[in-house]
Amino acid sequence: MVLPLGLRDRAMLELMYGTGIRVTEMLNLQIEDLHAMAGFLRCFGKGRKERIIPVNQTSIDWIQRYLTRGRNLIVKNHLERTLFLNAHGRPMTRQAFLRF
């Protein structure tokens, strides 16, 4: 059995390693910011400047695993659109990320 937080953590690490995305950018991603079929994501960097980042297939695969087999077990409010959630179903903070 794969734990949902383990899937989340692996998806985050693959995304960071594969793209070089900054932690804050990653934690602010919304589900609709990932364009898996086109192989890129849209994020907002320093100064709310929009960045388009190419994403490799390995990262996309892990994010999709997390979305289909992990996130739905974590999320409490199904209207929440933040991609990466903490164990309580809320958006993960930078401080929480640095502890894991």
* CATH assignment of the domain containing 77: 1.10.443.10
pLDDT digits (tens, 9 = 90+) for 49-94: 999 999 999 999 999 999 999 999 999 998 999 999 999 999 999 9
In the numeric block, which tokens belong to residue 87? 């164990």
Provide the residue range defining the domain that includes 91. Answer: 4-99
Structural domains of the chain, count:
1
Output the pLDDT for position 99: 85
Which tens digits make up the pLDDT trace of 37-46?
A: 999 999 988 8
Q: Which residues of 73-86 are buried (b: 16+ CB within 10 A; e: fewer)?
A: ebbeeeebebbbbb
Give the model confidence (pLDDT) of 5-21 as tens digits.
999 999 999 999 999 99
Tell me, what's the pLDDT at 86? 95
pLDDT at 46: 83
Per-residue buried b or exposed e for 3-18, using 16+ beta carbons within 10 Å of the residue's own CB: ebbebbbbbbebbbeb
2 pLDDT more than 90:
no
Q: What distance in Å separates the CA atoms of residue 84 and residue 92, rounded to the nearest whole number?
A: 6
Q: Are 75 and 89 in contact (CB under 8 A)?
A: yes
